[in-house]
Structure formats: structure tokens, C-alpha cells
Amino acid sequence: MNQAQRLDATFAALADPTRRAILARLATGEASVGELAGPFAMSQPAISKHLVVLERAGLISAGREGQRRPRRLEAGRLAEAARWLEQYREFWEARFQSLDVLLAEMQAPGLSARARGKKRK
Amino acid sequence: MFQHSGLLEVQVVGDREIHMRRGFNAPRALVFEAMTKPELIRRWLFGPPGWEMTVCEVDLRAGGKFRYAWRHEKGHGMAMGGTFVEVVPPERIVQTEKFDEAWYPGEMTETMELHEEAGRTVVTIRLVYELPEGREAALKTPMTDGMSLGYDRLAAVLEELV
């Protein structure tokens, strides 16, 4: 996978709330499939499907300890995707905070006509 | 003073879309006005620190064009424009848009919808890129020029994602 495909796979994997919850759980430490399935009203095979998607996206990896295959977070990949998305979000949030200020001015009593450059209809 | 109306939610959907959603403490007609009248657009879409908006032209009707340009104090600039496909004040706008310095392939179509609830407005924006590479490039746009942001707090970002 090139970087673009990797990022697409990462974002696709993050689009699902169960997978995000799994990542949040793994952020606190590694866990087995059974431990991950615990908090969800979902069978282990259903959880396993989500884990495959996360693994393909490079967001998690599976270790080996005897019979156990604990999953752990691959923070680097997630950080890469989160960085792009968060940067994008912060850019637009900053613009919209300026819009908040303008909207407040437009609604300030006595100022609205001038703030809006014309009279209200 | 104004109250924050709630943080912007951004989601990537499929391989070509970006969805955004944000609340504003103002009636819909006012939000629509602020987003479509050039003299009002100039007052909030001026860009990050160091940037100023130099061109803001809006011909708000189906088939009409719009054009925005910004310049950084160091001299470099950027510009974008597009065509309105559908204009339904104060609830819906569909437009195509593209930056002049097209560093990504294909156009982008933006659909913006405004919903009013109890004097408050929720704006949803759906950006659909012609090609996955377009969305990819948009997410990586270096438009945060001059902004210094820290991203090492993975746990905090995760919390937001969940």
C-alpha cells in the first residue's frame, strides 16, 4: 500500500464506532479478543471481523503469548491519520469561531443593522 | 460575549467524502446571510493569522460563480472559485469548487444544509471529491500556514474520535 491507500484504509477503519471504541480500549493497554468483546453486545467472531479491518489498516497488531494473541495499538499509524484530520478540523474550527463572533455581533441589540450593512427586512 | 456553539465535527466517509457539522447560536436566516454575502464573508473567512482576504465575489444563484482569494503577509497567496449548482435560501446550497493552484485532481462538490432548532442553527457540509486523490490532498492541504499545532497527544485525539 502506498501512503494514500494506507491513509484511506485508516480512515475507513476509523469510520466505525465499534472500531473506534476498540482502539480507545487498546490505548489503555493490550487485550485479547475475549477481553475486547466483553464490553460489546457482540460475538467474538463479530469482534474478530473488526479486528481484521483494524489490522489491515495497520492500526493494531497481534502479538503471541502461548495460546493468546493479544492485540495492541499501533499508535504511529493512528497518529498519522489523526494528525491530518485534526489539523483539517482545527483549521475549519478556527474559521467558524470567527463566524461565531460575527453572528454574535449581528445579533447584538442596536448594532445589527450596521453590522449587517443594511436594515433587517 | 458570545457562547461557543459547539465544536466542529469532521468525518471522512468512504474514499471521496468529508462531512462536517457544527452548531451556531443564531437563526438560520442570519447564518445563511453570513455565509453568502461578500461583505459578511470577508469578516470571518479571512484565514489564519498572517492571511487576509483580497477577493470575495459571490453571484448567488444557480449557475452563478463565486471567487475567493487570500494573500499572506509574506506575499504568497491562494485563490479558489466555483459555480453554484443549487441555491435555496436559507436552507441549502450546492456548489462546485476548485483551488487555482490545483495540487489535486478533479473538482469538488460541496452541499451545505442549514437546519434551525429553537433559534439555533446546525450546519452540515458534505464535500464530495471527484477522485479519492482529491480528498487525500485536501486533508493534507498546507493551509495551516502560520499555525503551530501540537499533535503528540494521541490519547486526547482518540477521546475525540470516540
**B3 domain residue, yes or no:** no
**B1 domain residue, yes or no:** no
Q: What is the DSSP string of B35-72?
A: HH-HHHHTTT-S-STTEEEEEEEE--STT-EEEEEEEE
ipTM of the shown complex: 0.79
| Per-residue model confidence (pLDDT) at position A54 | 93
Q: When comparing pLDDT for A27 and B150, which is higher?
A: A27
| Ranges of H-type helices in chain B | 28-36, 38-41, 132-139, 154-161
| Per-residue model confidence (pLDDT) at position B144 | 42
Multiple choice CATH, A3-74, 1.10.10.10, 1.10.3720.10, 3.40.50.300, 3.40.50.620: 1.10.10.10
CATH number reported for the structural domain that contains residue B97 in this entry: 3.30.530.20
Q: What is the pLDDT of residues B69-92, one digit of tens each?
A: 988 888 888 889 999 999 999 999
Please give the sequence-ordered ranges of beta strands (E in DSSP) within chain A, or none if there are none.
Answer: 60-62, 71-73
**Do residue B158 and residue A79 have CB atoms under 8 angstroms apart?**
no
Share of chain B above pLDDT 70, in %: 81
Determine the Cα–Cα distance for residues B107 and B100; give it in Å rounded to an integer. 11
DSSP label of A16: S
Q: When comparing pLDDT for A102 and B46, which is higher?
A: A102
Indicate the number of domains in chain B. Answer: 1
Q: Mutate one of B145, B151, B152 to test the A interface: name it (highest A CB count within 10 A).
A: B151
Domain boundaries, chain A: 3-74, 77-115
Determine the Cα–Cα distance for residues A28 and A6; give it in Å rounded to an integer. 24
**B93 domain residue, yes or no:** yes
**B2 domain residue, yes or no:** no
Q: Mutate one of A3, A40, A103, A114 to test the B interface: name it (highest B CB count within 10 A).
A: A103
Kind and range of the H or E element at B147?
Answer: none
Domain ranges, residue B44: 9-161
Q: What is the pLDDT of residues B104-153, one digit of tens each?
A: 778 899 999 999 998 899 999 999 999 887 887 777 654 444 332 322 23
Find the CB nearest A106 among B34, B47, B136: B34
**What does the longest C-alpha to C-alpha distance in chain A come to?**
76
